[in-house]
Amino acid sequence: MGPEHNSRQVLLQEVGPRDGLQNEPRILSPEERARLIEALVDAGLPRIQIGSFVNPRRVPQMAGTELVWQRIRKQPAIRYSTLVLNARGLDLAIAADVPHVEIYVSASQTHSMRNSGTTVEKALAEAVLLVGRALGAGLTVTAGVMCAFGCFYEGNVPVETVRSIVEKLQDASPTEIGLADTTGMAEPDSVRRVIHALDRVTRVDPLALHLHDTHGFAWPNLMAALEMGIRKFDTSVGGLGGCPFIPGATGNIATETTVERLHSLGYRTGVDAEKVREAASRLRRLLAAAPEFR
């Protein structure tokens, strides 16, 4: 385990403006999304995923991410990031001058075809090239694995598959490695198994987990990861989110609840849970067709 194993500091990335909104029938304007992001920054979230550069025909909720970025009053201490799936998305992120990108490869062939339209092998080869390009352009990068703990379509995902993908991604020297429970199938034992299996290819410090609460296991999974030394997690305001290409894979672990529980256990996040809760309440009203994010 790395030096963060005994740390009481937990680093949260807010993914609500991307993952939280991409399944919602109400499409928010760039102005509304920018105001949401600023409310979350005000709540003390040190990392914000502002959106994704993906095909707007497939994920219309993410159209105009570059406009969202233009409207945000940037804070130097915040790590703003976007998700990219291909070279076109990376080109847009570089052109927009977003400082951090996230590049993920699925460990499931079926999910890879549905999510990215390509095989795992081809997606991985492209991801390695994209990581290199992004680093060369001066961006920092999270390279990650979707369906790292199981797949809705294929069931169990062998830990050897996850380890092999991480090993190849590591060769490109990304800033961090992400493990995503894309389909919400993780359980504490599978979280421990995967993290343990990665001991041979990466330190624990660069690892970050993206957890869904589809079956109510997100918090036990987070606790299992904490015990293994993980100190970086994605959370979503109000627990919104889920992969649009996975039936029923809704609900990320809620930021406000995570913060409250971590604080009760003596961990530090620097996040004001009450401010996040207020942002979640306003966001729900907005998604229910309230006129604007006030």
Active site residues: 243
Q: Are 247 and 215 in contact (CB under 8 A)?
A: no
State the Cα–Cα distance between residues 79 and 72, nearest whole angstrom.
Answer: 13
Q: Using DSSP, state whether 24 is helix, strand or coil.
A: coil
Residue with tokens 């492209």: 126
Task: Identify which of 61, 99, 128, 113 has the alpha carbon closest to the alpha carbon of residue 246.
Answer: 113
Rounded to 5 degrees, φ, ψ at 106 are -80, 145
In angstroms, the Cα distances linking 56 to 59, 174, 246, 252 are 5, 27, 18, 22
Pair 251, 208: CB distance under 8 Å: no
**Exposure letters 83-111 (e unless 16+ CB within 10 A, then b):** bbbbeebbebbbebebebbbbbbbbbbeb
